[in-house]
Amino acid sequence: MTALLATRVSRADAASVADAARILAGGGLVAFPTETVYGLGADATNGRAVARLYEAKGRPAFNPLIAHVVGRQAAQALARFDADAARLAAAFWPGPLTLVLPKAAGCPVADLATAGLDTIAVRVPDHDVARGILEAFGKPVVAPSANRSGHVSPTTAEHVRADLGGRIDLIVDGGATPVGVESTIIACLGEPVLLRPGGLPRAAIERALGRKLGDAVTGIAGDESEPLAPGMLASHYAPRTRLRLNVSGVEPGEVLLAFGPARAEGAERAKTVLNLSTRGDLIEAAANLFSHLRTLDAAGARAIAVMPIPSDGLGEAINDRLARAAADR
């Protein structure tokens, strides 16, 4: 795991906003206030920074993250808006509304941040500090609520320090967050669906849409639970190719997902070999996981053989996702 960091807490002013942007650019982790709750930010385009973020949350699980941007134009580089999504963005951004949309072609957000899905959650926060950091940084920032896994979302800098002090680089203290609950999440992938009730009431959304929201899925009950998957909204990336886990050797017709410096028996037979991390670094492995799976899935092999991965640190989440990908059939 990461060595303990000296977490700085600084008052929200121009200097700490500039600091935050510099730390994000260097792949670091910065907690900052939004109008809903404090978020733990990382450069959305940097897979290793995103891996570190999951690790800092503790008991890491690769739940897809929300990409925060300054406005509609920046959001359009990440996601495709249908008419409903455009209407909701115009009515409620900036504000406590997250839209789950199809990923745009060329979306620069790391595969790990979207957990390998073809959809992406996008939000434009309405808070001076969050906006200042996004503007200064100039790229999308993924930010889950800045709490340890399983804890409630933080609404003050002190909550963040109690949970994540020593695990992140900087906490920007902008006082208590005004809304106090997380953003409302709507999927616009067809008929709009409510995925998580939050700071923006359902009635306001229905007024803007001019009709009722599709049957509430309300899949996200607690903080760390995952959205339900009503067909169109797969909550896990599932490769089409069968996975064979914890292999010591490669069988004919298979491609290989390797880990570490060791060679799997028969690796020379594999049509394609990708290594999650030749050094055996779990942060690097997490950053590569979903993109390597996608590449191997596209090879049209009989199966993807996967070498064993230790289950300490991020290894637990990597193994969890691999087990789900192997079972999802």
Relative to beta strand 273-275, strand 254-258 is parallel
Which residue, judged by CB position, is nearest to ligand TXA in the bound state?
39
Q: Considering the complex, what minimum distance in angstroms separates the CB of residue 314 from ligand TXA?
A: 17
- Residue 68, SS3 per DSSP: strand
Residue whose C-alpha is closest to residue 217's, from 208, 206, 207, 226: 226
117 binds ligand TXA (CB under 6 A): yes
Q: Considering the complex, what minimum distance in angstroms separates the CB of residue 40 from ligand TXA?
A: 8
177 binds ligand TXA (CB under 6 A): no
217 binds ligand TXA (CB under 6 A): no
Query: Which range touches ligand TXA (CB under 6 A), out of 71-79, 84-92, 116-124, 317-325?
Result: 116-124
- Looking at beta carbons only, is 185 or 322 nearer to ligand TXA? 185
- Looking at beta carbons only, is 111 or 254 nearer to ligand TXA? 111
As given in the structure block, the two tokens for residue 109 are 């957000």
Residue of 217, 227, 270, 288 interacting with ligand TXA (CB under 6 A):
227
Task: Give the up-direction half-sphere exposure of residue 225: CA atoms within 13 A in the CB hemisphere.
Answer: 10
194 binds ligand TXA (CB under 6 A): no
226 binds Mg ion (CB under 5 A): no
Residue of 17, 24, 39, 306 interacting with ligand TXA (CB under 6 A):
39
| Binder of residue 318, out of Mg ion, ligand TXA, none (CB less than 5 to 8 A by kind) | none
Please state, as a whole number, how many other Cβ atoms lie within 10 Å of the Cβ of residue 2.
Answer: 13
DSSP states of 164-216 as a string?
A: HTTTSSEEEE--S-SS-SPPEEEE-SSS-EEEE--SS-HHHHHHHHTSPPBS-
Residue of 75, 79, 99, 120 interacting with ligand TXA (CB under 6 A):
120
| Binder of residue 275, out of ligand TXA, Mg ion, none (CB less than 5 to 8 A by kind) | none
Q: Which helix (H) or strand (E) holds 100?
A: strand 97-102
Could you give the angle at the alpha carbon of 81 between the alpha carbons of 68 and 143, nearest 5°? 15
**CA pseudo-torsion sign 200, 151, 60, 325:** negative
Query: Residue by residue, what is the 3-state secondary structure of 80-91?
Result: CCCHHHHHHHHH
- Looking at beta carbons only, is 39 or 313 nearer to ligand TXA? 39
Q: What is the DSSP letter of 122?
A: E
| Binder of residue 29, out of ligand TXA, Mg ion, none (CB less than 5 to 8 A by kind) | none
| Positions that interact with ligand TXA (CB under 6 A) | 34, 36-37, 39, 63-66, 98, 100, 114, 117, 119-121, 123, 143-145, 182-183, 185, 195, 220, 226-227
